């Protein structure tokens, strides 16, 4: 009986340490390239309010082509949002990061997202158009975890922010 429990324990531990090899994260299909344009401002963050969940999603865009998701914040907490953003800086995980590309008046970005099984990360690709240098609209969202594309209407507005976190991370090269 002890041998069986020990064997099960060894199998579970082995799977835990080998998961990244058995179930690797998907790779981003967009290549990171420096953003040299002026179609969008990058000295702050972009936010979109989702009424159905009462959550405001926040993204930072960086001149090196990296995008960082900082989280979703309750609308009831708008006065403290920027203090909460600063607290989040050190809680970096792979699903916070990705790359974005601007081409004329269109924007596309990819970030990692948890797969439905929770074992590895898959890709969320969003695309849309740039309205002006402080507003863009996401019109399509593709989630590779379910191989599903949805039409959406997410309008992101810019807010200047002096305490923008650095884009250094171990996930996007």
For residues 73 and 61, give the distance between their C-alpha atoms in angstroms, rounded to a whole number: 18
Q: What number of other Cβ atoms are within 10 A of residue 115's Cβ?
A: 18
pLDDT at 24 over 50: yes
For residues 57 and 69, give the distance between their C-alpha atoms in angstroms, rounded to a whole number: 8
For residues 48 and 69, give the distance between their C-alpha atoms in angstroms, rounded to a whole number: 12
**Which tokens is 54 given?**
């009462």
**Residue 19 pLDDT level (bands cut at 50, 70, 90):** very low
Half-sphere exposure of 104 (CA within 13 A, CB side): 0
Element containing residue 87 per DSSP (H, E): helix 81-88
Arithmetic mean of pLDDT, 153-161: 95
Among left, alpha and beta (phi > 0; psi -120 to 50; other), residue 6 is alpha
Q: Look at residue 130 in the predicted model and tell me its pLDDT.
A: 98
CA angle 122–51–124, rounded 5-degree value = 10
Lowest mean pLDDT among 15-24, 43-52, 159-168: 15-24
Of 51 and 35, the structure prediction assigns the larger pLDDT to: 35
What is the DSSP secondary structure assignment for residue 24, as one 8-state letter? P
What is the DSSP secondary structure assignment for residue 120, as one 8-state letter? S
Least Cα distance to 119 among 29, 13, 10, 22 occurs for: 22
């Amino acid at each position: 009986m002890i041998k069986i429990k020990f064997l099960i324990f060894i199998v579970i531990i082995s799977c835990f340490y080998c998961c990244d090899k058995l179930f690797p994260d998907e790779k981003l299909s967009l290549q990171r390239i420096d953003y040299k344009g002026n179609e969008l401002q990058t000295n702050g963050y972009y936010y979109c309010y989702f009424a159905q969940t009462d959550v405001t999603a926040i993204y930072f865009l960086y001149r090196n082509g990296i995008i960082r998701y900082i989280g979703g914040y309750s609308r009831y907490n708008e006065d403290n949002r920027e203090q909460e953003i600063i607290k989040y800086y050190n809680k970096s995980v792979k699903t916070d990061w990705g790359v974005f590309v601007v081409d004329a008046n269109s924007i596309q970005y990819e970030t990692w997202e948890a797969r439905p099984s929770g074992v590895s990360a898959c890709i969320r690709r969003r695309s849309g158009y740039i309205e002006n240098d402080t507003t863009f609209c996401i019109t399509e969202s593709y989630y590779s975890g379910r191989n599903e594309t949805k039409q959406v209407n997410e309008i992101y507005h810019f807010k200047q922010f002096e305490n923008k976190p650095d884009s250094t991370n171990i996930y996007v090269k």
